[in-house]
A and B are shown apart, each in its own frame.
Chain A
Amino acid sequence: MGDDVKSKLGKTAQRFSRRSVLKTTAAGAAAVAAGPALFNIARAADHNIRIGFPVPLTGPYGSEAQEQARCAQIAVDQFNAAGGLNGRMAELLVRDDKLKPGEAATRTLELIEKDKVHYVCGSLSASVQLSVNAVTKARGIIYVSISQSDAINEAKDFSKYTFHEAMNPHMTAGAVGRYAFPQFGKRVAFLIADYAYGHEMVRGFKRAGEAHGIEVVAEVTHPLASKDFSTFLPQIMAARPDVLCLCNFGYDQMNSLKQATGFGMKQQMQILAPALLYNQRRAGGAAAYEGVIGGANYHWTLESSVPSAKAFNDAYRAENDGAPPSDYGAYGYAGVGALLDGVKKAGTTDTDAVITALEALKYDKYKGTQYYRKCDHQSVQSVFIVKSKSESEMANEYDVFDIVHTDPASEDILRSCAELGHEA
């Protein structure tokens, strides 16, 4: 009797669970089946010119990445508004690479294999751009990188499909060094974030310093993403340098600057930061950055002298409540803009024709004339030396830098083709 009840109960439970299992399975199967279909609908007509845009939307550089995507979209909109390529519209496919090289490689594979993109542009770290480049070059897809790296210029990683729109650490550090060493003194100290980008900047500074006979009095490395610099800074103060070069980036730069300001180091020495970022300066505040000299690819106040800067700013302001674009955002605009200029000039989306067009292209998207050097496809462009303003000098909340000097666009500030391992 007892067993009977139990077995009945068991049966109901069994039936119930079987049904629910079937339901779950069916729902699961439907979801899996709908998945690809959903994406296929989302994918626009095959007719379009598709540009994949992997950037780290999540992670520490999320705000920069979103800015880059916004600016790239402006370039696409302008191309389409001007009639596209004989009526063929461009389309931007933004993907999150999460600032991880492995994820970026997978996302790029997805863009190429599933979305069938014609070109790829994007990335915001040296390691990520190298991984995207590895994937694109093997598949013969043009890739325009928009973040800093020295390695991508070198023959080992380069391919004819690789273009580098951003500046590289060698040219930024070099330009800042050439400007600062004659003015502020020859005793130089380095605070270095211990990774490729940090060491590349040091190399750039030392190269620029050779001509001015600098003397390196301290070289202090700190681990990436340090919070506390109080153990590193006294070593530098003890060496009594005239100039301190901060070879780090992002939050490392901000934190080290805040603490250096607190230690009163600015009274003793001039602080240089090769990659002085607009967004980082705004996040860090005027006091920490006041008086720091650095390199930048762009500052929006350039609009007073450069017409293309004015046009770019206006286009951006119209969509962003009057706020001007940032320097890294401008890379997104220029990278995609130059690419689409090349497509238009080639008159076709054919890869080889576009490469030829890009190699011959002189473009002025936002900062004056630029072009891609033939041997390594590095964008030859002017470097701006900026000085961070104090609170009282700022005309408005966006007015953070003073452009004190411009290194004109020239191949002389790049490493030579031979040095990079390119033939001729």
Chain B
Amino acid sequence: MSLANPQERLTVSGRRLAGLVSLMARHRVAAVLGFLLIFPFLLPYEALAVNILIYGLYALGFNMVFGYMGVLSFGHAAFFGLGSYATGIAIVHYGVPWLPAIGIGIVAAGLGAAVIGGLAIRTRGIYFAMVTLALSQCVYYLVYQMEDLSGGENGLRGVDVYDLNIPGLELTLIDPLTKYYFVFAFVALAVWLFSRLLASPFGAVLEALRENESRARACGTDVAMSKWLAFVISGLFCGLAGALNAIHLTIVPIESLHYHTSGLAVMMALLGGMGTFFGPFVGALTFLMLEDVITLVTVHWQLFVGALFVFFILFFPRGIWGTLLHWLSR
């Protein structure tokens, strides 16, 4: 999505569609949020829209490490799950109000990311993926065994946040549309923050690391520190997604820590377009919509989703959104 090349800017200008793209690129946060604002009315039901928001945010957080920094982590379920469990446990066992509980979830995910990142960041490539996978499975078993707090196999129940208790507003999350906009408010904030981070010098460092790590080091970047920091920030975003998921489902299933959930982030980011701003949301939308529609028709839904995934990897390696952007700005 970079329009930094002046030549490219020249060829792009003057064409309306491309103009639209560059407009969207300049106001990417507004574009994303504008779309998400009307989103629930386009879908068959709100719970699916909320899922797409949450998993979109999760994939967005993951994309910071994967798409922008170019490092494949296979352990992001740990941060999603830690966010979920910390928020859930704070609400269920300690009676913490929902807003601080979400904060606790984010912090817990950040701490998890700091530890896992600290241990894994010096490895690279497949080793990094394996180390993060192994460490996230450790978190899985740890939480699984803490049955008194986490509910173990049965999952954590009773995250019953319905009345938001906002002075002057009578909002209840039982109403599906209210719940959507409740989650939307957090996602909007996160998307804005994410965009600011990418636009900052730190964002430039991330892309520099992806493009050429040795050169970035030669330019004076503290590579290990930057990588670790990106990993932690990515964990914070995933933690927020997890916290919102706990409130959305009113339960925390143990599967949210499972490595399948890690794989989901990879799939969504790849499907939507790694390293694009809106890609993770497109990926989440495509994946969850397909799953939802196809399961109504056949029990062999995995076959179709899998085939489609292979198709996209083979013919559209930029992902759906990435390919679309590429066509429009060509």
Name A's B-contacting residues (CB within 8 A): 10, 13-14, 17-18, 20-21, 32-33, 35-36, 39, 57-58, 62, 95-96, 98, 100-102, 105-106, 109-110, 113-114, 126-127, 130-131, 133-135, 138-139, 149, 151, 156-157, 195-197, 224
Q: Give the 10 A-B residue pairs with the shortest CB-CB distance, closest first.
A: A101-B253, A109-B47, A114-B45, A195-B153, A105-B249, A102-B253, A196-B153, A36-B44, A131-B251, A17-B327
Q: A105-B250, A106-B51 are in contact. Are A134 and B154 (CB under 8 A)?
A: no
Shortest CB-to-CB span from B183 to chain A, Å, is: 13
Name B's A-contacting residues (CB within 8 A): 11, 15, 17, 42-48, 51, 147, 152-155, 157-158, 160, 162, 174, 176, 245, 249-251, 253-256, 289, 293, 295-296, 299-302, 324, 327-328, 330
Would B330 and A58 count as touching, CB distance under 8 A? no
Q: A58-B302, A127-B254 are in contact. Are A35 and B44 (CB under 8 A)?
A: yes
- Scoring B15, B43, B47, B162 by chain A CB atoms within 10 A of each residue's CB, the highest score goes to B47
Which chain B residue lies CB-closest to A149?
Answer: B154
**A62 contact set on B, CB distance < 8 A:** 299
Would A57 and B47 count as touching, CB distance under 8 A? no
Would B255 and A102 count as touching, CB distance under 8 A? yes
Would B48 and A138 count as touching, CB distance under 8 A? no
**B302 contact set on A, CB distance < 8 A:** 58
A-B contact count (CB 8 A): 118
Contact partner, B47, options A35, A96, A110, A157, Cβ 8 Å = A110
Would A57 and B299 count as touching, CB distance under 8 A? yes
Would A96 and B299 count as touching, CB distance under 8 A? yes
20 A-B pairs in the complex with CB atoms less than 8 angstroms apart: A18-B17, A21-B324, A21-B328, A35-B43, A57-B295, A58-B299, A58-B301, A96-B299, A100-B253, A101-B253, A102-B255, A102-B256, A106-B48, A109-B47, A127-B155, A131-B155, A134-B157, A196-B153, A196-B154, A197-B153
Would A96 and B43 count as touching, CB distance under 8 A? no
Shortest CB-to-CB span from B85 to chain A, Å, is: 13
Would A35 and B251 count as touching, CB distance under 8 A? no
Which chain A residue lies CB-closest to B45?
Answer: A114
Q: How far is the CA of A13 from the CA of B329 in the complex (A)?
A: 12
Q: How far is the CA of A13 from the CA of B245 in the complex (A)?
A: 44
Shortest CB-to-CB span from B153 to chain A, Å, is: 4
- Scoring A102, A127, A149, A151 by chain B CB atoms within 10 A of each residue's CB, the highest score goes to A102
Contact partner, B160, options A21, A33, A113, A138, Cβ 8 Å = A138
Contact partner, B251, options A20, A105, A126, A197, Cβ 8 Å = A105
**A17 contact set on B, CB distance < 8 A:** 327-328, 330
Contact partner, B176, options A109, A134, A138, A149, Cβ 8 Å = A109
**A14 contact set on B, CB distance < 8 A:** 15, 330
Q: How far is the CA of A131 from the CA of B300 in the complex (A)?
A: 24
Q: How far is the CA of A297 from the CA of B289 in the complex (A)?
A: 38
Contact partner, B45, options A113, A127, A151, Cβ 8 Å = A113
Shortest CB-to-CB span from A248 to chain B, Å, is: 13
Q: How far is the CA of A134 from the CA of B17 in the complex (A)?
A: 48
**A139 contact set on B, CB distance < 8 A:** 174
Overall SS of chain A's interface? helix
Contact partner, B250, options A10, A110, A135, A156, Cβ 8 Å = A135
Would A138 and B250 count as touching, CB distance under 8 A? yes
Q: A96-B299, A102-B249, A156-B157 are in contact. List 14 more A-B contacts (CB 8 A).
A: A35-B43, A39-B44, A58-B295, A58-B302, A101-B254, A105-B251, A106-B51, A110-B44, A110-B45, A127-B154, A130-B251, A134-B249, A134-B251, A224-B153
Which chain A residue lies CB-closest to B328?
Answer: A21
Would A138 and B44 count as touching, CB distance under 8 A? no
Q: How far is the CA of A98 from the CA of B305 in the complex (A)?
A: 15
Q: A21-B327, A58-B299, A105-B250 are in contact. Are A138 and B155 (CB under 8 A)?
A: no
Would B328 and A35 count as touching, CB distance under 8 A? no
Would A131 and B253 count as touching, CB distance under 8 A? yes
Would A106 and B47 count as touching, CB distance under 8 A? yes
**B48 contact set on A, CB distance < 8 A:** 106, 110
Q: How far is the CA of A20 from the CA of B328 in the complex (A)?
A: 10
Q: How far is the CA of A105 from the CA of B17 in the complex (A)?
A: 41
Q: How far is the CA of A57 from the CA of B245 in the complex (A)?
A: 24
**A135 contact set on B, CB distance < 8 A:** 249-251
Which chain B residue lies CB-closest to A97?
Answer: B295
Would A96 and B155 count as touching, CB distance under 8 A? no
Would B154 and A151 count as touching, CB distance under 8 A? yes
Would A13 and B299 count as touching, CB distance under 8 A? no
Would A113 and B176 count as touching, CB distance under 8 A? yes
Q: How far is the CA of A139 from the CA of B176 in the complex (A)?
A: 11
**B45 contact set on A, CB distance < 8 A:** 109-110, 113-114
**B47 contact set on A, CB distance < 8 A:** 106, 109-110, 113
**A151 contact set on B, CB distance < 8 A:** 154
Would A106 and B44 count as touching, CB distance under 8 A? no
Would B155 and A130 count as touching, CB distance under 8 A? yes
Q: How far is the CA of A96 from the CA of B47 in the complex (A)?
A: 15
**A35 contact set on B, CB distance < 8 A:** 43-44, 289, 293
Q: How far is the CA of A404 from the CA of B296 in the complex (A)?
A: 42
Shortest CB-to-CB span from A60 to chain B, Å, is: 13
Would B324 and A134 count as touching, CB distance under 8 A? no
Q: How far is the CA of A138 from the CA of B173 in the complex (A)?
A: 10
**B254 contact set on A, CB distance < 8 A:** 101, 127
Which chain A residue lies CB-closest to B256?
Answer: A102
**A39 contact set on B, CB distance < 8 A:** 44
Q: How far is the CA of A291 from the CA of B174 in the complex (A)?
A: 52
**A110 contact set on B, CB distance < 8 A:** 44-45, 47-48
Which chain B residue lies CB-closest to A135?
Answer: B250
Q: How far is the CA of A113 from the CA of B324 in the complex (A)?
A: 34
Would B153 and A126 count as touching, CB distance under 8 A? yes
Shortest CB-to-CB span from B299 to chain A, Å, is: 5
- Scoring A133, A134, A224 by chain B CB atoms within 10 A of each residue's CB, the highest score goes to A134
Would A126 and B176 count as touching, CB distance under 8 A? no
Would B249 and A130 count as touching, CB distance under 8 A? no
Q: How far is the CA of A187 from the CA of B109 in the complex (A)?
A: 47
Which chain B residue lies CB-closest to A58?
Answer: B299
Q: How far is the CA of A308 from the CA of B134 in the complex (A)?
A: 53
Would B157 and A131 count as touching, CB distance under 8 A? yes
Would A96 and B295 count as touching, CB distance under 8 A? yes
Would A36 and B324 count as touching, CB distance under 8 A? no
Q: How far is the CA of A13 from the CA of B15 in the complex (A)?
A: 14
Q: How far is the CA of A196 from the CA of B302 in the complex (A)?
A: 28
- Scoring B160, B162, B176, B327 by chain A CB atoms within 10 A of each residue's CB, the highest score goes to B327
**A131 contact set on B, CB distance < 8 A:** 155, 157, 249, 251, 253
Which chain B residue lies CB-closest to A16?
Answer: B327
**B158 contact set on A, CB distance < 8 A:** 134, 156
Which chain B residue lies CB-closest to A157?
Answer: B157
Q: How far is the CA of A114 from the CA of B152 in the complex (A)?
A: 31
